[in-house]
Amino acid sequence: MNSTIRIGDITIHRIVEKQYGFAPAREFLPTLTAEVLEENRAWLGAALDAADRLVLCFQSYVVRTPHHTVLVDSCIGNDKERPTRLGWHRKTDTAFIDGLAAVGLGVEDIDIVMCTHLHGDHVGWNTRLENGRWVPTFPRARYLFSARELDYWSGEHTRSPLVAMEDSVLPIVAARRADLITSDHALNDHVRLLPTPGHTPDHFAVRLGHGRDDAVITGDLLHSPLQARIPELSMGSDFNPALAALTRRSFLERYCDTPTLCCTAHFPAPSVGHLKRWGNGFRCEATA
Binding site for Zn ion (CB under 5 A): 121, 220
DSSP string, 214-272: SEEE-GGG--SHHHHHSTT---TT-SSHHHHHHHHHHHHHHHTTSSPEEE-SSSSTT-E
Residue number, 10 or 244, with CB nearest to Zn ion: 244
CA distances from 151 to 78, 182, 191, 224, 273 (A): 25, 12, 24, 28, 34
- Please state the closest distance from residue 121 (CB atom) to Zn ion, in A: 4
Residue number, 65 or 200, with CB nearest to Zn ion: 200
Residue number, 5 or 57, with CB nearest to Zn ion: 57
Residue number, 121 or 238, with CB nearest to Zn ion: 121
Query: What is the residue type of 248?
Result: R
Residue number, 214 or 220, with CB nearest to Zn ion: 220
Q: Compute how many other C-beta atoms are within 10 angstroms of the C-beta atom of residue 180.
A: 15
Q: In the 8-state DSSP scheme, what is residue 95? A: H
- Please state the closest distance from residue 163 (CB atom) to Zn ion, in A: 15
- Please state the closest distance from residue 220 (CB atom) to Zn ion, in A: 4
- Please state the closest distance from residue 117 (CB atom) to Zn ion, in A: 8
Residue number, 10 or 228, with CB nearest to Zn ion: 228
Burial of 9 per CB tally in 10 Å (0-12, 13-18, 19+): middle
- Please state the closest distance from residue 72 (CB atom) to Zn ion, in A: 12
Nearest to 123 by CA among 55, 157, 171: 171
Give Rg (Cα) of the chain.
18
SS3 78: coil
- Please state the closest distance from residue 212 (CB atom) to Zn ion, in A: 27
Q: Compute how many other C-beta atoms are within 10 angstroms of the C-beta atom of residue 46.
A: 12
Query: What is the residue type of 267?
Result: F
Residue number, 74 or 127, with CB nearest to Zn ion: 74
How far apart CA 12 and CA 146 sit, in angstroms, is 22
Residue number, 213 or 220, with CB nearest to Zn ion: 220
- Please state the closest distance from residue 119 (CB atom) to Zn ion, in A: 5
Q: How far apart are the first and last CA of the chain?
A: 15
How far apart CA 167 and CA 127 sit, in angstroms, is 7
- Please state the closest distance from residue 221 (CB atom) to Zn ion, in A: 10
Peptide bond into 241 cis (omega under 30): no
